[in-house]
Structure 1
């Protein structure tokens, strides 16, 4: 069951890349029909187009479609803000009354003030 899921995910991620190869394979499989019926330059045999114009048009259309889908997908991605700015400023030796507390949630009302003594002093020998 896991291997089946792995293969399905692998194929789904590689499908946009493989789709161009599918177009090229279709061209090579039906080269004579394309050169005889679908080629724009079939009336000019001296150009030796042999359906390359058809292949180029199909590949270009496929690329434009993928670009358009990617652009639409990127434009509709919701943004997620991962970090927010702290509302409580940190101050050494500051008291709670010195900080602007209006409009803060209850869990932010108790600001931390670092003690001034014993902070960043070398150990006593």
Structure 2
């Protein structure tokens, strides 16, 4: 488990943009750079075996995160997005992670595509 300062192993918080349901924090974030300077996310061994390459992250993400004890809703949301991965009309999910903040709190986070047009609730 890696230690957090501002963000996670894969991401760095730029600005908190909302408080979501069930103690979820929603933030605008940037992916952490790999040593090569290329924007990419770390993928687990299972994905590496299936894909054979690393998926690149966009330069701006939306990250939803919560303390591990409050993350059941986020974990279910991740599972739903996994079923729709690659669908062109669905916000893409770039993975999830667990990490520990400097304070010792365990945080679960899910990384999503940034939709610059806002959210569906604003349009309805």
Query: Which protein is richer in strand relative to its size?
Result: 2
Query: What TM-score comes out, normalization by structure 2 length?
Result: 0.20
Larger radius of gyration: 1
Write 1 or 2 for the structure with the bigger share of helix: 1
**With structure 1 as the length reference, what TM-score do the two structures score?**
0.19
